Amino acid sequence: MQRRTFLTGTLIGAAFATAPITALTTTGASAATVTVSSIADLQREIDRAAPGDRIVLANGTYTVPAGGIRITGRHGAGTHITIVSQSRGGAVLQGDRSFVLRDSSSVTISGFAFRQHQSLVIPADCSDIRLTRNDFGFADNAGVDWVVVKADGVKIDRNHFHDRSTQGVFLVADGPDGPVDPDRETMVKGLSVLRNHFARHTYPGDNGGESIRLGVSHRAMDSAGAVVEYNLFEQCDGDPEAISVKSSGNVIRHNTLRDCAGGIVLRHGNGTLVHGNHLIGGTEGIRLHGNDHTVFNNHLTGLSGRALVIGSGTARDHVPGEPPAQRRGYDACDRALITHNTLARNARAIVGENRAHEPRNAVLSNNILVADAGSLVALGQHTGFTWQGNLLWGRAADGTVPSGGFVRADPRLQQGADGVFRLSPGSPAIGAAVPTAHPVNDDIDGHPRGGSRDIGSDQYATAAPVRSPLTPADVGPNAA
């Protein structure tokens, strides 16, 4: 395709200020990169973008018109159309809305500083959209969710979501809506949330201030297949659920939650994997509702609330087609596998609840529980639990764990400079794990488990960790 090419690298300065756009183009050239310095020019280039094109908005502060920057009918056909700020955070977008997408695919939006009042929505008629290396600091308007995903195959990576004090969610994964049936039970599929930094949500209410919400109650039975991994959450206090899962078949792994009131909560849905997460020095830990979840290799320490909740229910099971009011209740936790986790120095370790339907048939194996106050296990009514190979220590009482399900011995944990409690030589946890139904091939540090496996989230090793708790340098717009 014969296209015009804006000369890059010369657009900010006197020459650009005095020359008309047509004087800075070369006609007849096959071009892939175009640099512009106004919203009008950006819109024009988006309207004629072809697969592989890269449109660069020069650094500056721009007020976006009321209708937003339209991305309509643009399809990268597998080779993304990229719309990018000249430098990361250098192009600041103000106004009511930013990008308004419709009927588009294979589009990347990168490097912008978003300062909008209304949600950035990726609608259901789009696919393969990527938001990367952006700074999201919207106006602090109550009830506005900042990024809402209703499309399949979306990737949200290396962004910074930060600083709000009102009700609303940083990132929502939802599903297609329609005028005939707004309560459709379908979830978006294949969302990837990778290496983002979520920070400082100070909403003082007790609901509606999650950092991430994967789904909603009436969509909970649908398998979303979302992967939330290597994200850092700091001071995310807007809700007891920093990561709120209300759908099925997701993976929550290798995230770090530091000093957050909210935890990882499987609120609705079934069959989610939660593994390799660090929850350090906040309030809530991991809470489970629904069936067939697998929770392993997690490290929870210094939590002032409940480290691990095995939830009871207002219903035995949620089922497709049930009334919306019933779906909003609590599903009892059945058939959870909870193995190879370390819970150290938390106010409350493993805790139950007291709703009408008790949790059933959970397996708790190879976990280390250490505390000096209260009870290590304080479950309410429960049925058919299996306890194997757990190691308990500290001045806290054993609680409601059956005598055959644990050994009381000092695991000889040593706290590293990164805050992680790891095994030291001679620990009775070394080589003492029982087999598990789910393969646990490495530990929270990324070290291989091998044939002789250790109790807890750490497999004893002298090598440096492959994975450690995340820091701001590991996530956000400048992450590798």
Residue with tokens 């004893």: 460
**High-pLDDT (> 90) share of the chain, %:** 86
Cβ(158)–Cβ(132) below 8 Å: yes
Going by pLDDT thresholds of 50, 70 and 90, the confidence category of residue 366 is very high
C-alpha torsion 397→403→408→414, nearest 10 = -80
Per-residue pLDDT tens digits for 377-410:
999 999 999 999 999 999 999 999 999 999 999 9
Going by pLDDT thresholds of 50, 70 and 90, the confidence category of residue 348 is very high
pLDDT at 355: 95
Per-residue pLDDT tens digits for 299-325:
999 999 999 999 999 989 887 777 777
- Mean pLDDT for 236-255 is 97
Handedness of CA 319, 325, 326, 332 (dihedral sign): positive
pLDDT beyond 90 at 180: no
pLDDT beyond 70 at 457: yes
- For 414, half-sphere exposure in the C-beta direction (CA atoms, 13 angstrom radius) is 11
Cβ(185)–Cβ(224) below 8 Å: no
Using CA atoms, how far apart are residues 47 and 45, in angstroms rounded to an integer?
5
Going by pLDDT thresholds of 50, 70 and 90, the confidence category of residue 32 is confident
Looking at domain 119-474, its CATH class is mainly beta
Cβ(221)–Cβ(183) below 8 Å: no
Going by pLDDT thresholds of 50, 70 and 90, the confidence category of residue 27 is very low
Using CA atoms, how far apart are residues 208 and 216, in angstroms rounded to an integer?
12
- Mean pLDDT for 330-359 is 97
Handedness of CA 337, 475, 223, 263 (dihedral sign): positive
H-helix or E-strand spanning residue 14? helix 14-18
Handedness of CA 92, 98, 104, 106 (dihedral sign): positive
Choose between 5 and 451: higher pLDDT.
451
* R_g of the chain computed on alpha carbons: 25
Using CA atoms, how far apart are residues 467 and 480, in angstroms rounded to an integer?
15
Going by pLDDT thresholds of 50, 70 and 90, the confidence category of residue 245 is very high
The domains of the chain are located at 119-474
- Mean pLDDT for 98-113 is 98
Q: Name the β-bridge partners of 479.
A: none
pLDDT at 185: 84
CA–CA–CA angle 252, 254, 256 (5° rounding): 100
pLDDT at 276: 98
Report the Cα 210 to chain-centroid distance in Å: 10
Phi-psi region of 328 (alpha: psi -120 to 50; beta: other; left: phi over 0): alpha
